Structure 1
Amino acid sequence: MVRTRPPAGRHTRAQTAGLLGAVLGLAAAGTAAGMAVSRIAARRVRAAELGPAAELPRELTDGQLRQVDPLGVAARPADRTALVQADDGVLLAVEEIGPRDAPLTVVFVHGYTLSMGSWAFQRRTLAAELATGNGHRPQARLIFYDQRGHGSSGRGPAEHSTIEQLAADLGSVLDARAPRGPVVLVGHSMGGMTIMGLAAMRPELFGTRVKGAALVSTSSGNLAGLSLGLPEMLTRVRAAVLPVAAWTMRYRPAFAERTRRAAAELVSAATRALSFGSADVDPALVRYVDAMIAGTPVDVIAEFYPALAGLDETGRLEPLRRVPTLVLTGDRDKMIPKEHSDLIVERLEQTGENAVDYVVVPGAGHMVTLEEPDEVSRALTALLRRVAAGHSVEVTG
């Protein structure tokens, strides 16, 4: 195949405009960080040098991010780490809290351009409530993993940047790390789409091994048409520059990296505006999201975008109707508006055997897991109680 290059005289201007425009364009993928087409090149910093989150530089490796939570508190360390091999050979980084023989397993699936670090508050709270047991037998094991191309996981070929492949990856994690006993799946944004993809790919798991699910700030489709609350003119500009931006990120990643480093402050402002609902969100949370984004190469962002923009799982939710399901969203989510969660709830309740628990968090944006972590943890604990009640598993908290 012959690939045509832009005319030499206009190449840099077009690419620069495209990259900056993609700060808005890729946000249509419905992720907390999709708008941030800015990866700050990772700089090695010894964990001992990390101060409070307010002083965290954006240039941290994924492993360093997991040393602290978004507000600078020491993160809950993993009891075990592992690498799970996907069906195409990609290695997925996994961390576990709680004993291998816990009667209930909860698997957390993060969103696009983020990492398992996006669950930092839930990891700390739920580990204290469910995994430590305060001297008694722990009630649950928590599993966190980085999706392919994100965080510490390996990267596959571009053609495997699909929801179907992410769903297969989740299946591999379940088969390798939770082959027996009841499992609850918890997904944020693209993580929720991954769970829906697994339901379509392996429906027999739902009701047998998968006993519950939580879909947080997610969508079953129609993401390409999102306006992000922007005026019509800016939405049109985004659509016009996106093809140039995507081409640049995929085929000129070095140039794209330089461009988004130069636009770091603009990107941080976009993260703040589009990821959070509150106008006075703690700057430490914004910096934490910026740091997670730094672990995602621009060409990975470009490779996954078409899969998200073309997503349509609306008609494939039937397996989730067999299990208790939590749908949670913030009422100020600009990335994936509340109406997308409304549609999921409507489809799940049409013929569902289990009542859907629908939680709308007032004032919260797309990164509700960081902005209102206690609300999210309470809702997840309530879901786990429902699942446990049906399987004679004692869950406290």
Structure 2
Amino acid sequence: MSKTMRLAGTAGAFVAAGTVATLLNGRVRTHRRRRRGEDVEFGSVRSDGTTVVSTDGVPLHVEVDEAERKTPTLVFLHGWVENIDVWHYQRLALRGQVRMVFVDLRSHGRSGRATSKKSTFAELADDIVSVIQQLVPRGPIVLIGHSMGGMAIMQLAGTRPELFGSRVKGVVLLGTSSGRLMRSSPGLRYLIPILRAGAPVLDWGRRFNSYSIIRRWGLGPGAHERHVDMANEMILEAPTHVLTDFYPNFVGLDLTAGLEALGRARTTVAGGTADLLTPVKHSRRLAAAIPGAELVVLDDVGHMLMFEEHEAVTAIIEDVLDDVKEAMS
């Protein structure tokens, strides 16, 4: 049998397995959602959305929770294959106390799709500038980023350092890294086109036992079933092209150029000791490299710390916010 025929047969089997898995997982997800017993259903915390058009024309979905106190404004930036629902608990806890801006990064959530060539951290940083210019044109800002959202903040600090200390008064970096996450591979340039071509197949296949995979890689060993289920539900909403389009950014990643500028803002770095995607050593390295940064280490917590230790994460944000307010007074 030729290599092409073997690949075709494998793909066909993958599609069939993925189709069955989609049906089964749909039933299981419905059951788990009922069992969560949420006071406020995950995905229902919303406000009227607005669209910010990026400099290259990508429509960005943004939601603003207004408050009587208009400054400082908190700007939330989620991670890879996430969306604004990742801030579920923080949004509920802080609503009405402070003005908050939630951004679906390009190609994520309800935002428009960018091309693969425009799915870079440089574009993400530029998108932050567009959001600030259109929705936070004046007053101090606290930027809060998880994983890739934190990397976008570091990219912004490298390209627009003058914003930090002037407009950006506070920064919270959660479960993120400035580099040395993945090593470059010569085979990458061959693998990515294959994955892009097979994206519809992979969309099905990703649903096969996704809950167990996300529990293993995304959360800590003691994570509540509810939080695993929330992460699983959110991540499965992201199409496979988001994985393939943004993946090359992480190979050879180096965002250290912006770390000194971050020190001009009140910065806290937080990471979990059970994070397998951005191990806590990256948080320690970041905190050591950013002048004056505070480090918070959360024991036995994985990558989705905003779910697993949501009260601790909210407290981190509140501490930075209080310090920024005090500096303003």
The residue aligned with 1:368 is: 305
| TM-score (normalised: structure 2) | 0.87
Kindly indicate whether residue 192 of structure 2 is the aligned counterpart of residue 246 of structure 1: yes
- Give the deviation of 1:289 after TM superposition: 1.2
Change (3 A) 1:328 1:14: same
Counterparts of 1:17 and 1:313, CA distance in 2: 41
The residue aligned with 2:18 is: none
Counterparts of 1:370 and 1:106, CA distance in 2: 19
- Give the deviation of 1:255 after TM superposition: 2.1
- Give the deviation of 1:335 after TM superposition: 1.0
Change (3 A) 1:287 1:40: farther
Kindly indicate whether residue 225 of structure 2 is the aligned counterpart of residue 258 of structure 1: no
Counterparts of 2:271 and 2:12, CA distance in 1: 34
Kindly indicate whether residue 145 of structure 2 is the aligned counterpart of residue 209 of structure 1: no
Kindly indicate whether residue 95 of structure 2 is the aligned counterpart of residue 109 of structure 1: no
- Give the deviation of 1:370 after TM superposition: 0.3
The residue aligned with 1:9 is: 5
Does the 8 Å CA contact 1:334/1:366 hold for their aligned counterparts?
A: yes
User: How many residues are paired up?
Assistant: 319
Kindly indicate whether residue 232 of structure 2 is the aligned counterpart of residue 274 of structure 1: no
- Give the deviation of 1:294 after TM superposition: 2.1
Counterparts of 1:78 and 1:106, CA distance in 2: 16
Q: For 2:232, give the aligned amino acid.
A: D
Counterparts of 1:183 and 1:144, CA distance in 2: 13
Counterparts of 2:283 and 2:195, CA distance in 1: 30
Identity of aligned residues (%): 34
Does the 8 Å CA contact 1:214/1:327 hold for their aligned counterparts?
A: yes
- Give the deviation of 1:252 after TM superposition: 2.2
Counterparts of 2:12 and 2:299, CA distance in 1: 37
| TM-score (normalised: structure 1) | 0.73
Counterparts of 1:100 and 1:147, CA distance in 2: 27
Identify which of 10, 33, 54 aligns with 1:54.
33
Kindly indicate whether residue 295 of structure 2 is the aligned counterpart of residue 358 of structure 1: yes
The residue aligned with 2:100 is: 142
Counterparts of 2:304 and 2:135, CA distance in 1: 27
Structure 1 SS opposite 2:206: helix
Identify which of 366, 379, 388 aligns with 2:316.
379
Does the 8 Å CA contact 1:113/1:296 hold for their aligned counterparts?
A: yes
Q: For 1:375, give the aligned amino acid.
A: A
The residue aligned with 1:346 is: 288
Note the alpha carbon deviations across 1:153-181, whole angstroms, 9 max, x for none. Answer: 10111100111111111111111110100
Change (3 A) 1:213 1:82: same
Identify which of 214, 218, 227 aligns with 1:285.
227
Q: More displaced, 187-196 or 268-277? A: 268-277
Note the alpha carbon deviations across 1:184-212, whole angstroms, 9 max, x for none. Answer: 00000001001001111211111111101
Q: Which runs of 5+ in 2 are unaligned?
A: 16-20
Kindly indicate whether residue 57 of structure 2 is the aligned counterpart of residue 89 of structure 1: yes
The residue aligned with 1:230 is: none
Structure 2 SS opposite 1:369: helix
After TM superposition, the structure 1 = structure 2 runs for residues 188-207 of structure 1, keeping only pairs within 5 Å, are 188-207=146-165
Does the 8 Å CA contact 1:271/1:289 hold for their aligned counterparts?
A: yes
Counterparts of 1:364 and 1:387, CA distance in 2: 27
Does the 8 Å CA contact 1:186/1:213 hold for their aligned counterparts?
A: yes
Note the alpha carbon deviations across 1:50-72, whole angstroms, 9 max, x for none. Answer: 9896338xxxxxxxxxxxx9945
Note the alpha carbon deviations across 1:202-240, whole angstroms, 9 max, x for none. Answer: 1111111110101100000011149xxxxxxxxxxxx89
Kindly indicate whether residue 64 of structure 2 is the aligned counterpart of residue 118 of structure 1: no
Structure 2 SS opposite 1:333: coil
The residue aligned with 1:325 is: 267
Does the 8 Å CA contact 2:183/2:252 hold for their aligned counterparts?
A: no
